[in-house]
Chain A
Amino acid sequence: MAEDIIRVENLHKSFVSHNKSTEVLQGIDLSVKAGEIYGIIGKSGAGKSTLVRCINYLVKPSSGKVLFEGTDLGELGSRELNQVRHQMAMIFQQFNLLMQRNALKNICYPLEITRVPKEQAKQRAMELLKLVGMETRANAYPAELSGGQKQRIAIARALASNPKVLLCDEATSALDPETTKSILELLRDINHKLGITIVVITHEMAVIEELCSKVAIISDGKIAESGDMAQIFMHPQSEAARQLIFPNRKSIPEMRSRRYCRIVFDGRSSFEPVVANMVLDFGQAVNIMFADTRNLDGMAVGQMVIQLPDNPEVALRMIAYLRDKQISVEEVSDHA
Chain B
Amino acid sequence: MHDLILLFLENTRDSIYMTVVSTLIAYVIGLPLGILLVVTAADGIRPLRALNKVLGALVNLLRSFPFLILLFVISPFTRLVVGTTLGPNATIVALVVAAAPFIARMVESSLREVDGNVIEAAQSMGSSSLQIIMKVMLPESRSSLILNAAIALTTILGYSAMAGIVGGGGLGDLAIRYGYYRYQYNIMYIAVFLLVLIVEVMQGIGLMLAKKLDKRL
Contact B118 A109 (CB under 8 A): no
Contact B217 A113 (CB under 8 A): no
Contact B128 A113 (CB under 8 A): yes
Q: Does B126 contact A (CB under 8 A)?
A: yes
Q: Which residues of chain A are near B142, meaning CB under 8 Å?
A: 100
Q: Does A225 contact B (CB under 8 A)?
A: no
Within the assembled complex, what's the spacing in Å between the Cα atoms of A5 and B142? 40
Q: Which residues of chain B are near A99, meaning CB under 8 Å?
A: 115, 118, 140, 215-216
Q: For the complex formed, measure the closest distance between the CB of A189 and the CB atoms of chain B, giving whole angstroms.
A: 22
Contact B215 A92 (CB under 8 A): no
A-B pairs under 8 A by CB, number: 80
Q: Does A293 contact B (CB under 8 A)?
A: no
Q: Does B184 contact A (CB under 8 A)?
A: no
Q: Does A94 contact B (CB under 8 A)?
A: yes
Within the assembled complex, what's the spacing in Å between the Cα atoms of A99 and B144? 13
Number of A residues near B (Cβ < 8 Å) is 35
Q: Which residues of chain B are near A96, meaning CB under 8 Å?
A: 115, 117-118, 120-121
Q: Which residues of chain A are near B125, meaning CB under 8 Å?
A: 85-86, 89-90, 109-110, 113, 157-158, 161
Q: Does A101 contact B (CB under 8 A)?
A: yes
Q: Which residues of chain A are near B126, meaning CB under 8 Å?
A: 81-86, 110, 113-114, 161
Question: Contacting A58 at CB < 8 Å: which of B120, B131, B135, B215?
Answer: B120
Within the assembled complex, what's the spacing in Å between the Cα atoms of A54 and B120? 13
Q: Which residues of chain A are near B122, meaning CB under 8 Å?
A: 109
Main secondary structure of the interface of B (DSSP, over half): helix
Q: For the complex formed, measure the closest distance between the CB of A228 and the CB atoms of chain B, giving whole angstroms.
A: 29
Q: Which residues of chain A are near B216, meaning CB under 8 Å?
A: 99-100, 141, 143
Q: Knowing A92-B117, A96-B118, A99-B118 are in contact, say whether A112-B135 is a contact too (CB < 8 A).
A: yes
Contact B124 A98 (CB under 8 A): no
Contact A85 B215 (CB under 8 A): no
Name the residue in A83, A98, A110 with the highest tally of chain B Cβ atoms < 10 Å from its Cβ: A98
CB contacts under 8 Å to B, within A102-137, are: 102, 109-110, 112-114
Q: For the complex formed, measure the closest distance between the CB of B26 and the CB atoms of chain A, giving whole angstroms.
A: 25
Name the residue in A83, A141, A154 with the highest tally of chain B Cβ atoms < 10 Å from its Cβ: A141
Contact A143 B215 (CB under 8 A): yes
Closest to B46 in A: A78
Q: For the complex formed, measure the closest distance between the CB of A113 and the CB atoms of chain B, giving whole angstroms.
A: 5
Closest to B214 in A: A100
Q: Knowing A113-B131, A144-B217 are in contact, say whether A100-B139 is a contact too (CB < 8 A).
A: yes
Within the assembled complex, what's the spacing in Å between the Cα atoms of A85 and B127? 9
Within the assembled complex, what's the spacing in Å between the Cα atoms of A94 and B120? 12
Q: Which residues of chain A are near B213, meaning CB under 8 Å?
A: 100
Contact B128 A100 (CB under 8 A): no
Taken residue by residue from 200 to 242, chain A's Cβ proximity to chain B (1 for < 8 Å, 0 otherwise) reads as: 0000000000000000000000000000000000000000000
CB contacts under 8 Å to A, within B146-202, are: none
Q: Which residues of chain B are near A85, meaning CB under 8 Å?
A: 123-126
Residues of A within 8 A of B (CB): 56, 58, 78-79, 81-86, 89-90, 92, 94, 96-102, 109-110, 112-114, 141-144, 154, 157-158, 161, 167
Residues of B within 8 A of A (CB): 115, 117-118, 120-128, 131, 135-136, 139-140, 142, 213-217
| Apart from the given pairs A90-B121, A101-B139, A114-B126, 19 other A-B contacts in the complex at a CB distance below 8 Å | A56-B124, A58-B124, A82-B127, A85-B123, A90-B124, A96-B117, A97-B118, A98-B140, A99-B115, A99-B215, A99-B216, A100-B215, A113-B126, A113-B128, A113-B131, A141-B216, A143-B217, A161-B126, A167-B124
- Selected A-B contacts with CB under 8 Å, 10 pairs: A90-B124, A98-B136, A98-B140, A99-B216, A113-B131, A113-B135, A141-B217, A143-B216, A158-B125, A161-B126
